[in-house]
Amino acid sequence: MPNVRITDVSPRDGLQNESAMIAAADKAQLVRLLCAACVDEVEVTSFVSPKWVPQLGDAGAVLADLAASAPSPLTSRPLFSALVPNERGLDSALTFLQGPAALGKLSLFAAASETFSQKNTNGSISQVLERFVPVMHRIRALPHRILVRGYISCVVACPFEGLIAPAQVVDVAKKLIAMGVDEIDLGDTIGAATRETTRELLNIYAREIGLVTTASPVTLHLHDTFGHAADCVRVALDAGITSFDGSVAGLGGCPYASTPTRRAPGNIDTALLVNTVHAAGFTTHVDLDALACASQYARKLVQR
Ligand code: HMG
Ligand code: MG
């Protein structure tokens, strides 16, 4: 059985959805604990507009803190990645592409839903893809190779438009692949996916593009709003996917799915993800005891 690649996105996707403002030093400590848990990649932060996501306005401070604490805890560490929505974000990220806490991957993010694209990034799908063209050119002109992830949000459903046709996802993926991204990340943004919708999407994607045997293999990014994420992982493993995102302690929680009395779960909890992968007979590099420490720390940070 192949090894499954685990990315923990809690410092970015988890904390961007938390109302509490967490100190940069505490976020950096969470990243260190995730490194100790031997995940393959940590999505450390996001270089987006602080007017849109104030929780991540400290991207530079988090990376500077990590760089200051290296090399001892970070000698052999996971890949670090961060989101970049436009050239302005790339300008900020450039400072952090070298040094002990260097980012090895930048993640562009588009959507398969027009309404979500407007609400999340203030542009249509094609306008957002246009923004990526100069960003990609500049990344590819750098003296060393930086990997690029191309996220697609709302691959199953959109909080505003409802169900999204797999053909729309395939269309956006083909455009990102034509730009030269190294990986496509399929995001079930609101945790709407079920076994059936995941199977249908992956079947169509495999037929039209290919899931793993392409230059831009697929990672699956599940949110666990309705408790279906582990089922979807099993379906995806069957389909041949060997790369998944999770969030330690299930940090995050979709604001569209939360009620005043119950906070909806966020991304699939990384521990549930890893246990599901192991139970299906695959291996990971993750140390579950160390992951539990990271999870405990994450819960404390968001006071749960
Ligand atoms: P805009 O308002 O159209 O941008 O937003 P603009 O270019 O007109 O600039 C407006 C102001 O923002 C200007 O400042 C810019 O300098 C500043 P002012 O002159 O008014 O003082 N600005 C920036 N500042 C810092 N960094 C930047 C940046 N860009 C502009 N990069 C924009 C367009 C894309 C910037 C905005 O919509 C944005 O930042 N959106 C981010 C939304 C976001 O982060 N969403 C969450 C991530 S996606 C996600 O979670 C889904 C995922 O998890 C997968 C899944 O689950 O499906 C990935
Ligand atoms: Mg997400």
- Predicted pLDDT at 203: 98
pLDDT at 137 over 70: yes
Share of the chain above pLDDT 70, in %: 94
pLDDT at 222 over 60: yes
- Predicted pLDDT at 258: 59
Give per-residue pLDDT as tens, 34-46. Answer: 999 999 999 999 9
Rounded distance from Cα 261 to ligand 2 centre (Å): 22
Fold for 5-303, please state it.
Answer: TIM Barrel (3.20.20)
Give per-residue pLDDT as tens, 179-202. Answer: 999 999 999 999 999 999 999 999
The more confidently predicted of residues 303 and 242 is 242
Given the residues 35, 154, 232, 254, the one annotated as active site: 254
| Ligand number with the minimum distance to the CA of 49 | 1
SS3 166: helix
Rounded distance from Cα 58 to ligand 1 centre (Å): 14
| Ligand number with the minimum distance to the CA of 187 | 1
- Predicted pLDDT at 221: 98
pLDDT at 172 over 80: yes
Rounded distance from Cα 128 to ligand 1 centre (Å): 11
pTM of the model: 0.96
CA 126 to chain CA centroid, nearest Å:
21
Q: Is 254 a catalytic residue?
A: yes
Q: What is the mean pLDDT of residues 5-11?
A: 98
Which atom, in ligand 1's list, is nearest to the CA of 185?
A: 54
Mean pLDDT of the chain: 94
Ligand 1 atom 24: residue of nearest CA:
49
Cα–Cα distance between 61 and 65 in angstroms, integer?
Answer: 6
Q: How confident is the model at residue 156 (pLDDT cuts 50, 70, 90)?
A: very high
Give per-residue pLDDT as tens, 244-297. Answer: 999 999 998 755 555 667 666 799 999 999 999 999 999 999 999 999 999 999
Beta-carbon contacts of residue 268 (< 8 Å; ≥ 6 apart): 222, 223, 224, 229, 230, 233, 244, 245, 246, 247, 250
Rounded distance from Cα 50 to ligand 1 centre (Å): 7
Q: Give the DSSP H or E segment for 41.
A: strand 41-46
Contact residues of ligand 1, CB 6 A cut-off: 13, 16, 46-49, 51-53, 83, 85-86, 88-89, 92, 109, 120-122, 151, 153, 187, 189, 221
Tokens representing 227?
A: 């408790």
- Predicted pLDDT at 71: 61
Select from 12, 49, 124, 188 the residue to mutate for testing ligand 1; criterion: most ligand atoms less than 8 Å from CB: 49
Amino acid, single-letter form, for residue 1: M
Most confidently predicted of 20-24, 128-132, 249-253: 128-132
Give per-residue pLDDT as tens, 48-97. Answer: 999 999 999 999 999 999 999 876 555 679 999 999 999 999 999 999 99
Of 74, 6, 95, nearest in space to 43 by CA: 6
